[in-house]
Amino acid sequence: MAPLSRDNVQSLLLGSSLHPITRHLLFQVKKKDGGRQFLSDLLPSVSKGDPAALGAAPILNISLSWNGLLALGAFDTMGGEAAAASAFYLFNEPPLSESLRASGASTPANWWKKRFLSTDIHVIVHLSVSSEDELRDVTTHVKAAAERADMLELLTSAEGEPITGRAVNGFRLHFGYRDGISHPSVDWDNDIPTGGALPRGDFVLGYPSPNYSSYPDQPPFSDFVRDGSFMAFMMLYQDVAAFNRFLRENAPKLAPTLPQADAEEYLAAKMMGRWRDGTPLMLSPDRPDEAAALRDDFDYVDDPHGIKCPLAAHIRVANARHQPLNDVNKTLFPGGYPRVLRRGMPYGPLLEGEQDDGVDRGLVGMFLCANLNKQFYTIMRWLGRTDFSPVFPDQVGQDPLTGNSAFPGASSDFSIPSQNGTSTTVKRVTDFVRIEGVALQLLPSLTTLRNVAAFA
């Protein structure tokens, strides 16, 4: 039960950086030796340990996909692809479209602007930097290494800009919400967690967890993944104009006596479960409260009908805390609601108003966990179908923010109960979020990165 060796863990796993700019460079390995050379060149720059301790310096992390590991010959000395394939679970398969509710416009055939497939992505270099100058310098450094190693860069934009996220109004996302508030508290140093924290084994591979089994669970592959994490890398388009229109059209239905602007804020809060400044509805149901904006110490137990916070609000589906699970899920999740570590940043320029400008914008979301099926995919399934708890009168509802109405059988009605026993139902005619791409990545330990690069 040794403390986690921070020197062996990439910083992205241990926390979010506070840098305002992020960039994700996607590459395909063309030649095994080149790929290894690329890793070996970048290794000295890979950031490890708690990002808060790294100060203002640029942060660089590397994640590898299943096909990337194969292309790099990572398993050559461990029995090759067949042996590895029998050790991993779901990471070595294409993203599960049904679990992602990836229907209609979000269908995998449309992903990555149809320029490449998820399976083409081998290596992602994740950068976080403080300034545009730094962004230029670090990007040049990575691209030069890629060129020397004959790596193929995969670009989603015709203009040739890699996926780049820039903080919008501090910690705000497109749609105006503040993000980065709720994070699972993890005991990184003990197998049996103390102080109500979650076990490190829920997120870091190679450690026990009473909540999830994780794979690979046998050497040599369990050693290979130790101190790493699985990560779903998602590019999510946000239709800001449609969202703003929806708020304007529906807010008066919900709050006819409020001024239009306040009514829109109220509807936006009901959809998220937090006011746009972050204040949880459970702590302040009628107005945002600056003092409570970053609080996360609340639960939904005294709001069984969703009067303060609607049952299907984004955060109430993504982590319903102590709300009862249905019978099937009680057996599947004895430790309670599944959690993931969230990292991410908005991409694309700000848009105000209801006129779409045709420019791509949204969120790069990275969700880290030890068991893709029980953690990441489960949350995705529930966001796309609210059938996990008996509290939902509508068992085919969706999170009103990310819901995909093209998912067969889904209802795009969002019910907002009120104190007097009535409820207002608003209908999403246009979806606000579209999946633009999903890549399943391993965020390996420093040791593993070094070993994979070693033959270069």
Partner 1 sequence: MAHALNLFVPIRQDAESQKLLADIEANFATRDQPLIEKAARDSQILHFLRVLITPDRKYFVVLTEYDGSHEEYAEFFRLNLPDLFKQIFTLANGPGSWDQVNNEKTFFEASKKLQIRSLGNSVYDEKDPWEQTEGYLFHAYGPRTVKQILPLLK
**Contact positions toward partner 1, by CB under 8 A?**
89-90, 93-94, 96-99, 103, 213, 215, 326-328, 331-332, 371, 373-374, 377-378, 381, 387, 395-396, 408-409
3-state helix, strand, coil in the chain (%, to 5): 30, 20, 50
Question: In the range 250-289, which residues lie near ligand HEM by CB under 6 A?
Answer: 272, 274
Helices within 15-167 (DSSP H only): 32-42, 66-71, 80-85, 97-100, 132-148
Residue 397 contact, options ligand HEM, partner 1, none, Cβ 5-8 Å cut-off depending on partner type:
none
| Selected range binding ligand HEM among 88-96, 194-202, 304-312, 379-387, rule: CB under 6 A | 379-387
Binding span for ligand HEM by CB under 6 A among 80-88, 173-181, 218-226, 303-311: 173-181
Q: Which of 132, 172, 125, 180 is nearest to 153 (CA)?
A: 125
Spatial separation of the C-alpha atoms in residues 268 and 95, rounded to whole Å: 30
Distance of CA 4 to the CA centre of its chain: 23
* Cα→Cα distances 233→104, 146, 401, Å: 20, 21, 19
* Binding site partner of 331, from ligand HEM, partner 1, none, Cβ cut-off 5-8 A by kind: partner 1
Shortest distance in whole angstroms from residue 372 CB to partner 1: 9
DSSP state of 86: T
Residue 442 CB coordination number (10 Å): 23
Question: Quick one: what does residue 319 bind among ligand HEM, partner 1, none, with the CB cut-off 5 to 8 Å set by partner type?
Answer: ligand HEM
Give the pair of three-digit tokens for residue 99. Answer: 């679990």
Through-space distance between the first and last CA atoms of the chain, rounded to whole angstroms = 34
Region from 245-253, 304-312, 349-357, 375-383 binding ligand HEM, contact rule CB under 6 A: 375-383
Name which of 134 and 296 has its Cβ closer to ligand HEM: 296
Q: Which stretch binds ligand HEM (CB under 6 A): 89-97, 108-116, 160-168, 377-385?
A: 377-385
Q: Which of 19, 200, 270, 314 binds ligand HEM (CB under 6 A)?
A: 314
CB 342 within 8 A of CB 322: no
Q: CB under 6 A: which stretch of 40-48, 81-89, 178-186, 211-219 binds ligand HEM?
A: 178-186
Name the minimum Å distance from CB 205 to ligand HEM.
19
User: Could you tell me if 325 and 337 are in contact, meaning their C-beta atoms sit under 8 angstroms apart?
Assistant: yes
Residue 173 is a binding residue for ligand HEM (CB under 6 A): yes
- C-alpha span between 9 and 22 (Å, rounded): 19
What is the longest distance spanned by two Cα atoms in the chain? 70
For residues 64 and 102, which CB has a smaller minimum distance to ligand HEM in the complex?
102
d(CA 274, CA 182): 11
97 binds, among ligand HEM, partner 1, none (CB under 5 to 8 A by kind): partner 1
269 binds, among ligand HEM, partner 1, none (CB under 5 to 8 A by kind): none
Residue pair 298/316 in contact (Cβ under 8 Å)? The answer is: no
Question: Which one, 133 or 352, has the nearer CB to ligand HEM?
Answer: 352
Choose the contact partner of 314 out of ligand HEM, partner 1, none; CB within 5 to 8 A by kind: ligand HEM
Q: Is 319 in the site for ligand HEM (CB under 6 A)?
A: yes
From the list 18-26, 127-135, 174-182, 251-259, the region that binds ligand HEM by CB under 6 A is 174-182
From CA 208, how far away is CA 185, in angstroms rounded?
A: 17
